Structure 1
Amino acid sequence: MNIIPIKTPLVVKKIFSKYIWDIPTTKRVLYLTFDDGPTPEITHWVLKTLKQYQAKATFFCIGNNVEKHPEILKDIITEGHIVGNHTHNHLKGWKTSKKLYLENTLKAQKTISSVFDTFMHTSNLFRPPYGKITNKQGKKLLAIDYKIIMWDVISFDWDKNITPETCLNNVIKKAKSGSIIVFHDSVKAQKNMTYALPKVLEHFYNLGFTFEAINFN
């Protein structure tokens, strides 16, 4: 049984109010995000699927994966999506010192930036792996102008104990205008994500929603 709720409670958002959990809006907009890539084949499948609905998204990339697959990162940018930082080695903040966590995050940022000739394609968006980050780690990242992006709705696509249909319903039943939604472009999440994503896009597209990348620049 998951102890993380599908939809983040308001009280949590208020306690950690310096983190971004959703983006309030009067428009019918959703913010799809994808963690843990880039991953061969899976990330390209996501890009192709998003394009069918003129959808833009935010990809929180692991630096180590970017080192292995820089060409996929270039494809993400070419398609008009935003890239965020997900640490270099998918660190669990609660089990990592502030110094190491910061060093690992900056290493990922350098790796992501190195794929391009300029820094214009990089962003200051950061998502902590597992959503686990200490107060000291968060304060340090905020102090150097990172925006810490959490979520309003989490699909649980990586969870082998749920069905693809449950993954789909997690999003359809809980998402609303301004929701930041978590999927994963990873091998672990592939089965559930590839079932749910097209149906989420179709469902909300038919309701008049658009899908935008997170961008505060």
Structure 2
Amino acid sequence: MFLVKTPLAIKKSFPSLVWDIPNNTKTIYLTFDDGPTPEITTWVLETLKKHKIKATFFVVGDNVKKYPQIYQQLIAEGHAIGNHTYNHLNGWKTKSSDYLQNIEKCAELVDSNLFRPPYGRIKNTQIRKLKQHYKIIMWDVLSGDFDANLSPAKCAENVINNTKAGSIIVFHDSVKAEKNLKYALPKAIEFLKQQGFTFGVITED
């Protein structure tokens, strides 16, 4: 089980993390985790280009090493990039020194001070260390595209029904999410554009 909409109580419990970016311009922030993957990321880029949208990609270092051309394409097309560890580690289950070392290994390939913890799982000790160098980006809305038990339509509804100005929305450019993503992303984009939302990238400052 997962929470589609991050509760205010959780946001208030971890105020040093970025959960949303409030604004008066109806700007929202599409983010994609776990790429780059040749099967999916290139499709996402085509979809974003079609709609003239920029997004923020939290990349896994090992995938960047495997698919450097796709990583360079993300940058060349004007999308923002963030560190998502080198091996997609769960911070709760990983010794902090190993976790931080894995993030630095990713940083050798990914030049960004944006960081998102895989699974959203990170210890307070890890937060304190990372805050010295990184802006830690969480989310307001989770599409659930990674969940094989969810229908593609439900993933689209999760985004459509919970997005507000400033929302940071999570999709996954991963093989596991392909079926749900390829339905939900275009549907969500089309609906949100009709509602007057604009799409921004998360900045490093």
Q: What is the alpha-carbon distance in structure 2 between the residues aligned to residue 71 and residue 210 of structure 1?
A: 28
> For residue 72 of structure 2, what is the aligned residue in structure 1?
74
Asked whether 1:207 is paired with 2:185, we answer no
> For residue 123 of structure 1, what is the aligned residue in structure 2?
112
Give, in angstroms, the shift of residue 172 of structure 1: 0.2
- The farther-off stretch of 71-80 and 201-210 is 201-210
Give the 4+ runs in structure 1 shifted more than 6 A: none
Q: Percent identity?
A: 57
Q: What is the alpha-carbon distance in structure 1 between the residues aligned to residue 108 and residue 61 of structure 2?
A: 8
Asked whether 1:141 is paired with 2:130, we answer yes
Contact 2:88 2:118 in 1 (8 A): yes
Give, in angstroms, the shift of residue 53 of structure 1: 1.4
1:45-194 aligned within 5 A:
45-112=43-110, 122-143=111-132, 145-194=133-182
> For residue 19 of structure 1, what is the aligned residue in structure 2?
17
C-alpha distance after superposition, 1:47-90 (max 9, x if no partner): 01011111110000000000000000000011100110000000
Alignment-mate amino acid for residue 127 of structure 1: R
Q: What is the alpha-carbon distance in structure 1 between the residues aligned to residue 42 and residue 27 of structure 2?
A: 23
TM-score, normalised relative to structure 2: 0.98
Give, in angstroms, the shift of residue 38 of structure 1: 0.1
Give, in angstroms, the shift of residue 206 of structure 1: 1.4
Give, in angstroms, the shift of residue 41 of structure 1: 2.7
**Structure 1 segments unaligned to the other structure (5+ residues):** 113-121
TM-score, normalised relative to structure 1: 0.93
Q: What is the alpha-carbon distance in structure 2 between the residues aligned to residue 41 and residue 48 of structure 1?
A: 12
- The farther-off stretch of 126-135 and 203-212 is 203-212
Alignment-mate amino acid for residue 106 of structure 2: A
RMSD (Å) for aligned C-alpha atoms: 0.8
Alignment-mate amino acid for residue 43 of structure 2: W
- What is the SS of the residue equivalent to 2:108? helix
Alignment-mate amino acid for residue 165 of structure 1: A
Q: What is the alpha-carbon distance in structure 2 between the residues aligned to residue 205 and residue 66 of structure 1?
A: 31
Give, in angstroms, the shift of residue 188 of structure 1: 0.2
Contact 1:42 1:186 in 2 (8 A): yes
Contact 1:53 1:205 in 2 (8 A): no
Q: What is the alpha-carbon distance in structure 1 between the residues aligned to residue 40 and residue 199 of structure 2?
A: 20
